Structure 1
Amino acid sequence: MSDRNEDIRYEKDSDGIVTITLDMAGQSANTMSARYLPAMDWALAKLRAEDGLTGVVFASAKKTFFAGGDLNLLGSMEKADAETLRYVEENKRPYREIEKLPVPCVAAINGAALGGGYELCLACNRRILLDDPKAVVGLPEVTLGLLPGAGGVVRLTALLGLQKALPILLEGKHHAPEQALKLGLVDEIVATREELIPAAKAWIRANPEAHQQPWDAKGFRYPGGDATSPQLRPVIQMAPAMLVKKTRGLTPAPEKILDIAINSMRMSYDAALRVESRGLVALMVTKECKAAIGTFFFGMQAMKSGKARPEGEVWTPRSAAILGAGMMGAGIAWANAAAGLPSVLKDTSIENAEKGKAYSAGLAGKRVERGRMDEAGRDALLVRITPTAADADFDGVDLIIEAVFEDVALKEKVIPETFGRLAPGGIYGSNTSTLPISLLAESCPEPTRFIGLHFFSPVDKMKVVEIILGEETSDETLRKAYDYVRKIGYMPIVVRDSRGFFTSRVFGTYMDEGQALLIDGMSPAAIERAAWKIGMPVGPLAVHDEVSMVLSKKVHDTHLALDERLGVKDGFPADASHTKAVGHEMVAMGRGGRRYGGGFYDYHADGTKTLWPGLAQFSQGNGAIPMQEAEDRLIYRQAIETLRCLDEGVLRSEVEANLGGIFAIGFPAHTGGAIQFIRGVGIEAFAARAAELAEAHGDRFKVKPSALERLRAA
């Protein structure tokens, strides 16, 4: 017997087993859209009325199994009221009704089952997963500022026990088949798609009475103990402190998940589901949730779809050359080789080039030691890097990336000398962090084929590239550069040409404001603490030590030479006066940063570090700076500079501003990025606070009316 409505196919076989195949019309994936609830109610009504029903299999006609909640809808919720709670409760109701069916139910998972999709699987008595890398399962809601609100917190805690469930709930990872089986997220794996439904039906036939969930059975005991068990007491006592250490209290979702998971064991199952619903409603309206959904879901989708990429066929470079085997050049060679792109690594001597290749050998060796790569993979990767000191060895490559020292004269010498080695149709990129691409392009024989490719250090960890357009860079060159960056698995952020571009400008303001606070009399430890509290990965003083004040001064001196060449004064657009007053003075004292033996910190033989006592000499204030004032100065300074870049056209979109800030310079992720931070605060409230900071501390906090109008109009 077969029947269907617009979104579900209903088939009953001769053994009385019904297969419910989800196939939401007009959608590439099954989701909890407005069509989901009527479709599920239709299927459940038929199941309850079915004569001779012996079991139910849930399957999917899509490439994925079930993608879960409608994030457009969830992200638009504005009120944590009774109507929102009713919406949540209604959407999860079918899962409880599945659990109460008097026959065994099996999820036949053919593809990704995430969030609400995996929660459907949890409502079944058995979960069978296709052995396919794309068939991942998990509860990623925490990464979107939410919690698994369709029973995920309560059911997973009951299924696995608190200790095993918490990492899955709090990390939000996707789990491939073998790992999912090991963790207990699924019960069985089958090799082919054709085996899924037969395996599900075979289990039903072999287990006709297995319809009651363990947590509905009389005398149910949580695996590993309940909330009063002595063995769980240390976990329950230590978990909140460990969570705060990890999240800094900046994201409410993990705390809410932890609270519900623990307390679900202290009340009835249905009461726990209700508490879970209330928790989801409370999170849906938070600015952290809206930031995460806007940036990490829709923003990432926009980036992956290539909206910033000019139209045209996909370009796949067959070979590349990197000029300069220093830290950046060696890192780029690693990124290329790891992605399967053969690359020549050229330096002034073969010894330097070999040293650059040795960097990749070291990275690959560590991966072999950790079981993340086998020896054959390591050897194949290293073969793709050819060290040389001869230009002739990279004749005819599709891509050249110049990564020599950040010096205009040197780059202007290297570019015309090597451009002719490119294959017809190849492109030439400069790995510069601050120098104008249009200026460097003047030395290029074909400036239309010249573009900036700004990688970040360390390249193997910082998976983002700032693509900088010169005045004459063609759309074809941008398309090819964009395709190259995506080929090596990095995120492309496209910006217009400007001194410092986007990331270097904004990152510089963060370090500069840390030194401004030092001058104003705040203790160095308190400055670093303020940065920790707003969610920055490293304090401004510590990160400046890592970058080195020597490098900051060299960049400054380079821009002074540029000012003279261009006939301008103070041409770098971001204020760095406090860096000059502190960082440059420290260089003169011989304290250039970590690699120079010490800077803001002293570095000890046992690997520890302590703030340098001599920093007190830079203090000119009385130190009476409230912590909130310092926090605002550090985060507003970066947000305002990002907004300036957007207003000036250096940045082309809010999405690139947000994601670029988070992934390239560590802007606090819980905010959703600098522009989303402004929207989360509220445009008018942000403008008012910025005006207060400008009044108290100067023009670096001023916001142009045109920039605010741009945000209001978007």
Structure 2
Amino acid sequence: MTDIIGMHWAEDADGIVTLTMDDPTSEANIMNDVFEKALTQTVAKLKEEKARIKGIIVTSAKKTFFAGGDLTALIQAKPEHAPIFEQKVSELKALLRGLETLGKPVVAAMNGTALGGGLEIALSCHHRIALNNPKAEFGLPEVSLGLLPGAGGVIRTVRMLGIQNALMNVLLKGDRMKVAKAKSVGIIDDIAETPEEMMAKAKAWIVANPSAQQPWDKQGYKIPGGSPSTPSFAMNLPAFPANLQKQIKGANYPAPKAILCTAIEGAQVDFDNALKIEGRYFTSLACGKESKNFIKAFFFDLQKINKGASRPSKETYPVWKSKKVGVLGAGMMGQGIAYVSAMSGIEVVLLDMSLEAAERGKGYTQKLLDKRVSKGRMTKEAAAEKLALIKATNDFADLAGCDLVIEAVFESREIKADVTKKVEAVCDAELVFASNTSTLPITGLATASVRPQNFIGLHFFSPVDKMPLVEIICGEKTNDETLAKAFDYVLQIKKTPIVVNDSRGFFTSRVFGTFCMEGVNMLAEGFNPLSIEQAAAQAGMPVGPLAILDEVNMELTRKVRKQTQIDLAAEGKEIPTEPAFALIDKMCDEFKRPGKKEGMGFYDYPADGKKRIWSGLSQFVTADKKQPSTVEFTELKERLLYRQSIEAARCYQEGVLRSVADANIGSIFGIGMAPWTGGQLQYINYIGVAEFVKRADELAAKFGERFAPPQLLRDMAAKGETFQ
């Protein structure tokens, strides 16, 4: 065995060298300086001794095969670093290229996850064998971080799978695939059941393929399905950018465009020049601002949250697991909460006013389980076990023994107070009582409880089975033990928890409302509703504000607003009036079009299921705004994003938000804030705090005080600070 730091070299009697990646400075192997130095020394040694070497196996000493790029280094890359950055990328590619052109068979023996750079290492090998590890994932998810695979991943997958298959199945989707899926797609060649079988298969393949080469290095090689110059493929080429534009809806996502360009341009030149093309596009993305937003949000912020940065100390409050959860209300939210709880192995009591209603709620889980069984994702027996965990009832006595009860009843203080008392009458003193309210302050709801220290908010998002976020709201008397238990429960059901302090609308509902209202404000100003919805799409929002209000229902929105006005009036305060208020009142009172539930809102919902803007909205559109100019349309996009970020900054200033990470992840996962922004507070960083304040003041002068930046931002701008 030869000692190379980060890469153990072992040679057997048959002349087969096993290279075991093992970075001593990290829990996982990543493309850092340790790896690059190790690979440099290893490739040099392989070239020196290749005459007696029969083949090479690349494997890992870690739980995972290789984690990918060094994101800590990547997030620091700036435009001025581009020349040096591109040179380093080229050097890494040359090392991998040296491995695959050594003239000896090279096999990747992947004992665990190989994502991004990890899979790119495997792709530079001639054969890939993966251990059948149920936790292992394989793929090139760089697009989800605003990047492209920069170590040959685009060029190699295109030449392995063909342009269309590589783009559609691997590169643009960025899927993290389980081993069977990865094999069916074609990025894995073989599967082994044990580590011993994996190594045996690797050695057998080397013996059977002594002259192995990559397909693209063989004489007469052609890209599967044809290159851009192939007439049959060239006919379909114009559809690629058109389909991509349709998918990203014109929003600010440079990575998918760069991936498409790299694949098409790289397919028209030889392999080594294709690598140079990939390197230039990768460098442009890595040194750009959008990738910083993606990396901060989807790696650093998300990692910070999931590791418990917002949770009270585990030393004081050890990790807790719920064994029995009560869910009050078997409607849309309650039935979803019951499903995700049961799927995590928790016993559930689903309670509603009538047994029939409770059984209907349980039927929702039955429906979702049947769907999983039909798709082969679960056995009938396993589905039956999950369903059996849910007990439908209308008897509060059945809640006895629950360690957590979540109420998802009607948004009425009186009803919520009533069920709180009934639950506490039959449950133990250690019970955690949580409200799924989306707007009512937790401190006020907790007054109905005899143990307000055990009372907390757990705000789920619809549909619960798909939405990844839960907003945890601490009331004034909520204690740390209750918060720790609530946090642990959210992780237990495989959701992402953010923690906020009590406020009217908390964080997500409060900020989400500003997005919706700004869209209606635009309509009240005379803008074409189609332009408003398109502006939201091009800003990166998943759904337009008018469509969302139809889903939420304008009657409910108005009811919340009026209740807020009453509550604030009691405090001697008032809600600043917006043009949207009168228009929503008109939609509800005069036109009787409150939303999708009634089949009539800003949209019509015909029987064929394809919604369309209600023609009656034309009465609000003025001639000068029917077709907005480019400048006006850009401003519409800007307003929709600025409005949300300004409100998020207010929440941070007021202490509603406890951390920047909670703000960014909560806004993306809960509200749908455009992912390319990195979240609502990161968007302010992206613009530049001083520039953001300047533009917000301009918007405030033009459209009203709702755009006025809070003092926090002015202070940050003066000090040159950013959100960290």
Residue 15 of structure 1 corresponds to: 14
Residues 208-240 of structure 1 deviation map (CA, whole Å, 9 limit, x = unaligned)? 122x22211221111222222233224422111
The equivalent of 2:106 in structure 1 is 105
Displacement, 1:278?
0.7
Structure-1 separation of matches of 2:113 and 2:368? 32
Q: CA deviation at 1:569?
A: 2.7
Contact 2:469 2:495 in 1 (8 A): yes
After TM superposition, give the deviation of residue 465 of structure 1 in Å. Answer: 0.9
Instruction: Report deviation, 1:503.
Output: 0.7
- Is the Cα–Cα contact under 8 Å of residues 144 and 296 in structure 1 kept in the other structure? yes
Match of 1:46 in 2: 45
The question of whether the paired residues in 1 share the 8 Å contact of 2:8 and 2:21 is answered with: yes
Structure 1 position 377, deviation (Å) = 3.1
Other structure's SS at 2:527 match: coil
Of 678, 681, 697, the match for 2:684: 678
**C-alpha displacement at 1:618, in angstroms?**
4.5
In the alignment, the residues of structure 1 paired with residue 602 and residue 693 of structure 2 have an alpha-carbon distance, to the nearest angstrom, of 33
**Cα distance in structure 1, aligned partners of 2:568 and 2:75:** 47
Deviation at 1:617, TM superposition (A): 4.3
Which residue is 2:573 aligned to? 569
* Cα distance in 2, alignment partners of residues 655 and 689 from structure 1: 24
User: Alignment partner of 1:300: what SS?
Assistant: helix
Preserved contact between residue 468 and residue 496 of structure 1 (Cα < 8 Å): yes
Check conservation: 2:689, 2:713, Cα contact below 8 A: no
> Which region of structure 1 is more displaced relative to structure 2, 617-626 or 25-34?
617-626
| Cα distance in 2 between the residues matched to 1:35 and 1:198 | 29
Amino acid at match of 2:554: M
Q: Percent identity?
A: 45
- On the 8 A contact 2:265/2:277 being kept in 1, the answer is no
Counterparts of 2:331 and 2:42 in 1: how far apart (Å)? Answer: 63
**Post-superposition CA distance 1:450-486 (Å, at most 9, x none):** 0011111221222211100001101000000001111
Shift of 1:553: 1.8
> CA deviation digits over 1:230-288, x for unaligned, max 9?
33224422111101111124211111111111122211111111111111111112221
Whether the aligned pair in 2 keeps the contact of 1:468 and 1:501 (CA below 8 Å) is: yes
1:183-262 matches, cutoff 5 A: 183-210=185-212, 212-249=213-250, 250-262=252-264
Q: What is the RMSD computed on CA atoms of the aligned residues?
A: 1.8
> What is aligned with 1:651?
657
Residue 41 of structure 2 aligns to a residue whose secondary structure is helix
Give the alignment of 1:224-373 within 5 angstroms: 224-249=225-250, 250-311=252-313, 312-373=317-378
Distance, in Å, in 2 between the alignment partners of 1:392 and 1:710 is 54
Per-residue CA deviation, residues 30-71 of structure 1 (Å, 9 max, x unaligned), is 111112222112112221222511111111111111112111
384, 393, 410: which one aligns with 1:405: 410
Q: Give the structure 2 partner of residue 78 of structure 1.
A: 78
**For residues 276 and 620 of structure 1, what CA distance do their matches in structure 2 show?**
48
Q: Is the 8 A contact 2:693 2:713 kept in 1?
A: no
* Alpha-carbon spacing, 1:561–1:410, altered in 2? closer, same or farther (3 Å): farther
Structure 1 runs not aligned, ≥5 long:
none
Kept in 2, the 8 Å contact 1:520–1:622? The answer is: no
Q: Deviations over 1:114-164 (max 9, x none)?
A: 111111111111111111122322111111111111111111111122122
Q: Which residue of 1 is the match for residue 703 of structure 2?
A: 697
Contact 2:306/2:497 (<8 A) preserved: no
Q: Deviations over 1:575-615 (max 9, x none)?
A: 56334211122211321111123011122122222222333
Q: Distance in 2 between matches of 1:217 and 1:112?
A: 30
Following TM superposition, by how much is the alpha carbon of 1:174 offset from its aligned partner in structure 2, in angstroms?
1.5
Structure 1 residue matching 2:231: 3-state secondary structure: coil
Q: Are the equivalent residues in 2 in contact too, given 1:519–1:621 (CA < 8 A)?
A: no
Change (3 A) 1:411 1:578: farther
- Does residue 507 of structure 2 align to residue 502 of structure 1? yes
Q: Select 1:632's aligned residue among 626, 635, 638.
A: 638
Letter in 2 for 1:21: T
CA displacement at 1:321 relative to structure 2: 0.8
- How far is 1:413 from its partner? 2.2
Deviates more, 1:602-611 or 1:387-396: 602-611
Whether the aligned pair in 2 keeps the contact of 1:109 and 1:135 (CA below 8 Å) is no
Distance 2:38 2:69 in 1: 15
* Cα distance in 2 between the residues matched to 1:134 and 1:343: 27
Q: Which moved more, 1:497-506 or 1:192-201?
A: 192-201
**TM-score computed with the length of structure 1 as normaliser:** 0.96
1:652 match: secondary structure: coil
Residue of structure 2 in register with 1:96 after alignment: 97
Structure 2 residue runs of 5 or longer lacking an equivalent are none
Q: Do the aligned partners of 1:9 and 1:20 also contact (CA within 8 Å) in 2? A: yes
Q: Distance between the aligned counterparts of 1:41 and 1:633, measured in 2?
A: 50
* Residue of structure 1 equivalent to 2:465: 460
Taking the aligned partners of 1:616 and 1:502, their CA distance within structure 2 comes to: 34
Contact 1:494 1:656 (8 Å CA) reproduced? yes
Asked if 1:60 is matched to 2:64, the reply is: no
Tell me the secondary structure at the aligned position of residue 657 of structure 2: coil
Q: Which of 421, 425, 432 is the aligned partner of 1:420?
A: 425
Cα distance between partner residues in 2 of 1:114 and 1:684: 38
- Are 1:450 and 2:455 counterparts? yes
In structure 2, the residue matched to 1:516 is 521
Aligned-partner Cα distance in 2 for 1:523–1:41: 60
Question: 1:443 Cα deviation (Å)?
Answer: 1.3
Conservation of the 8 A alpha-carbon contact between 1:601 and 1:610? yes
In 2: Cα distance, 1:639 partner to 1:23 partner: 43
* 2:82–2:287 CA contact under 8 A, matched in 1: no
Inter-partner Cα distance in structure 1 for 2:396 and 2:377: 35
Contact map agreement 2:459 2:470 (CA 8 A) in 1: yes
- The answer to whether the Cα contact below 8 Å between 1:496 and 1:649 also exists between their aligned partners in 2 is yes
Q: CA deviation at 1:619?
A: 5.5
CA distance in 2, matches of 1:403, 1:536: 27
CA contact (8 A) 2:527 2:622 kept: no
Contact residue 545 and residue 592 of structure 1 kept, 8 A: yes
For 2:435, the aligned partner's letter is S
- Pairs within 5 Å for 1:140-219: 140-167=141-168, 168-210=170-212, 212-219=213-220
User: Is the 8 Å Cα contact of residues 399 and 422 (structure 1) preserved in structure 2?
Assistant: no
SS where residue 448 of structure 2 aligns? coil
Q: Which amino acid aligns with 2:187?
A: L
d(CA) in 2 for partners of 1:113, 1:331? 33
Separation of aligned partners in 2, 1:670 and 1:422: 46
Rounded Cα–Cα distance in structure 2 between residues aligned with 1:503 and 1:621: 35
Change (3 A) 1:325 1:628: same
The equivalent residue for 2:477 is 472
* Distance in 2 between residues matched to 1:440 and 1:393, nearest whole Å: 23
Alpha-carbon distance in structure 1 between the residues aligned to 2:430 and 2:713: 39
Instruction: String of CA shifts for 1:682-704, please: whole Å, max 9, x gaps.
Output: 11111111111000011100012
**What is the aligned residue count?**
708
**Partner amino acid for 1:635?**
L
Q: CA deviation at 1:366?
A: 3.1
After superposition, the C-alpha distances for 1:509-565 in whole angstroms (9 at most, x for unaligned) are 11111111111111111111111111111111111011101111222233244335x
Given that residues 406 and 555 in structure 1 are in contact (C-alpha distance below 8 angstroms), is that contact kept between their aligned partners in structure 2?
A: no
CA–CA distance in structure 1, aligned partners of residues 287 and 577 of structure 2 = 38
Cα separation, 2, equivalents of 1:430 and 1:304:
22
1:490-511 CA-partner distances (Å, limit 9, x unpaired): 1111110001101111111111
Q: Is residue 549–residue 583 contact of structure 1 (8 Å, CA) maintained in 2?
A: yes
